[in-house]
Structure 1
Amino acid sequence: MPASPVELVEVGPRDGLQNEARTLPVGTRVELITRLLALGVRRLEAVSFVRPDRVPQMAGAEEVMAQVPRRDDVTYIGLVLNRRGAERAALTACTEVNVVVPVTDAFAERNQGASTAALVEQAAGAVGVAREAGMSVTVTLAVAFGCPFTGAVPLERVREVTDRVLDLGLDELAFADTVGVGTPDQVAALAGLVRGDARVPALRWHFHNTRNTGYANAWAAATQRRDAGQRLALDASLGGFGGCPFAPAATGNIATEDLAYLLRHGGVAASGPERLDLAAADASARWLAEQVGTPVTAQLGRAGDAPDPVERAVRA
């Protein structure tokens, strides 16, 4: 049975904005989401239910969700850190929560004020709330590729935390290269941790391009061997905006338009959007750059698209 297409998950409205110095008003954030839907995005992280004093760029999550277009074909994800965040998300148009658990205690303490073990317990509470509300659940393991405070993360440590969170019962597990230190061999090693594990119906990856390895890592993830039935998703942000406010020097995400180009020209079937309108994407990325006051980092807006090869064997 052929593998399902790689799903592109747009994180621009959340991760794309949370590290910017300029906080956008609710109406502008809703316009960004509306523009993304017009580009063909169908699954996106729209908001983050966190403390506004810690991440002011994400304040007003409920107001944003009250104004977004309601569509049956669109999945809105709310990022949460604990039970309280999940309770807030459950009262909005979000149909999915993404619960973040850092794999190192050093990052967990700085990012969320508790140890990794404590955050796994908090994640259990968030999962319970989400299930009761009929919401899908992803758990993202932050700094799975490396920690800005402790350096390299042993694979065994990731294995240990992965096993704990999978026992919570998830719809999707995500590995995040929060600070952009990862390389393709790490992608293969992490994928190997969960290959054949029935507790992982879907595997998702979150890459930053801090050291120009983000796209190589995305390619490694997209072309890895998958078990039949295991879905695969890749996060990306329009224009390449983004970063973690609690990770020093964490620059932007891989760009949605550049990733879509890589997969299409590499013969990898992708969904959401299946074929991005480059001109429209570039226009929206430039619009967003004006709003946040920082430049677009995506390359396709500068270089332009290229003709598809005459013949291409689809990989997935």
Structure 2
Amino acid sequence: MSTPPAVRIVEVGPRDGLQNEKTQVATADKVELIDRLSATGLRSIEATSFVSPKWVPQLADAAEVFTAITRRPGVGYPVLVPNEQGYERARAVGVEEIAVFAAASEAFNRTNINASIDESLARFAPVMARARADGVKVRGYVSTVLGCPYQGEVPLDDVVRVARALHEMGCYEVSLGDTIGVGTPHKARAMLRAVAAQVPMPALAVHFHDTYGQALSNILACLEEGVAVVDSAVAGVGGCPYARGASGNVASEDVVYMLHGLGIDTGIDLPLLAQTGRWLAERLGRDTGSKVGKALAQP
């Protein structure tokens, strides 16, 4: 099996990475983070989330952040929206790409949003309709594709069904997320193959958390199947608050280092990305979660 010649990294640090931080991150620091990331050669940076501030207080400044960032030509700045109200807030500040989020686990849906999988998908219909009418791109996320903190194993059929539904609703790309980081390469490969039988591989991305240290191995297994889009977070920030021992998203620096070692083009300046990760970690008051970031900091 061969890997793709080029891979697009979707940087999720400013949204998925920061949303569970206990200490409030200053709006100016969020803006600087996104601007620093924009300078590294990244082409997709998930900027923030227009969810209710009551549920995610860390991202209550979504409108202020999006308005203040310097949007570079050729770089996408998607934002997460949960419903029509979030969509309206996002559009009011000039958002041109959104993301919607669904879980493949019935238990996860029931526990977190008090709805079934089908009910949660139905809620996206009006958002998708408005996005289509406005010419707004929509990316879809499927969480808990390799395990759920409440029900354990998640049937592959459910993962395939949700991914296919999002694609058929109009998502140009569907990101398959191992939310609690329990996946291993064999399972990751099997999951991707099952989904790719129903959704074209060019419309798929993978999103791994590194709870058990398996994220890079899982990504490599999926690259060998032909996936060419990988989600990651600078400095390895983030992590599911419901996962035991969650250590965060796979670090963008570590993913880029591996990809470059495989001869895969990313268009990203790795030293600059690592520097940005260390800058962010300093702002958060801890060491970077990237092994590459630490190694490149050594004299």
* TM-score > 0.5 by shorter chain: yes
Q: Which amino acid aligns with 2:102?
A: V
Distance of aligned partners of 1:254 and 1:216 in 2 relative to their CA distance in 1, 3 Å threshold: same
Shift, 1:56, TM fit: 1.0
SS at match of 2:47: strand
Q: Which amino acid aligns with 1:224?
A: E
**1:51 maps onto 2:52 in alignment:** yes
Moved more, 12-21 or 197-206: 197-206
Kindly, what percent of the aligned residue pairs are identical? 38
Q: Which amino acid aligns with 1:304?
A: L
Question: CA separation in 2, counterparts of 1:87 and 1:186?
Answer: 38
Q: Which amino acid aligns with 1:127?
A: M
Structure 2 match to 1:283: 275
TM-superposition CA deviations, 1:116-172 (whole Å, max 9, x none): 111100122221122122111111111111000110111122223233333212201
- CA RMSD between the two structures: 2.1
Shift, 1:3, TM fit: 5.2
**How many corresponding residue pairs?**
295
Structure 1 match to 2:256: 260
Q: Which amino acid aligns with 1:270?
A: D
Matched-pair contact (CA < 8 Å) for 2:274–2:296: no
**1:270 maps onto 2:271 in alignment:** no
Shift, 1:174, TM fit: 1.2
Matched-pair contact (CA < 8 Å) for 1:178–1:250: no
Question: CA separation in 2, counterparts of 1:198 and 1:180?
Answer: 23
Question: CA separation in 2, counterparts of 1:93 and 1:70?
Answer: 11
TM-superposition CA deviations, 1:51-71 (whole Å, max 9, x none): 111111111111111111132
Structure 2: tracts of 5 or more residues without a match: none
Shift, 1:221, TM fit: 1.6
Matched-pair contact (CA < 8 Å) for 2:102–2:120: yes
Question: CA separation in 2, counterparts of 1:185 and 1:91?
Answer: 44
Shift, 1:81, TM fit: 1.9
Question: CA separation in 1, counterparts of 2:153 and 2:69?
Answer: 40
Give 1 or 2: higher helix fraction: 2
Shift, 1:111, TM fit: 2.7
Question: CA separation in 2, counterparts of 1:9 and 1:175?
Answer: 13
TM-superposition CA deviations, 1:83-126 (whole Å, max 9, x none): 32222222233221110001112211333332211110012222
Q: Which amino acid aligns with 1:74?
A: V
TM-score by length of 2: 0.91
SS at match of 2:20: coil
Matched-pair contact (CA < 8 Å) for 1:181–1:210: yes
Shift, 1:199, TM fit: 6.0
Runs of 4+ off more than 6 Å: none
Structure 2 match to 1:138: 139
Matched-pair contact (CA < 8 Å) for 1:99–1:139: yes
Shift, 1:198, TM fit: 6.0
Structure 2 match to 1:209: 210
TM-superposition CA deviations, 1:192-215 (whole Å, max 9, x none): 223354666421111100000011
Question: CA separation in 1, counterparts of 2:17 and 2:257?
Answer: 19
Report 1:1-316 matches (<5 A): 5-195=6-196, 197=198, 201-225=202-226, 232-267=228-263, 269-271=264-266, 274-278=267-271, 280-304=272-296
Q: Which amino acid aligns with 1:214?
A: A
Question: CA separation in 2, counterparts of 1:106 and 1:197?
Answer: 24
Question: CA separation in 1, counterparts of 2:218 and 2:73?
Answer: 32
TM-score by length of 1: 0.87
Matched-pair contact (CA < 8 Å) for 1:90–1:133: no
Distance of aligned partners of 1:165 and 1:55 in 2 relative to their CA distance in 1, 3 Å threshold: same
Matched-pair contact (CA < 8 Å) for 1:100–1:141: yes
Shift, 1:22, TM fit: 1.0
Structure 1: tracts of 5 or more residues without a match: 227-231, 306-316
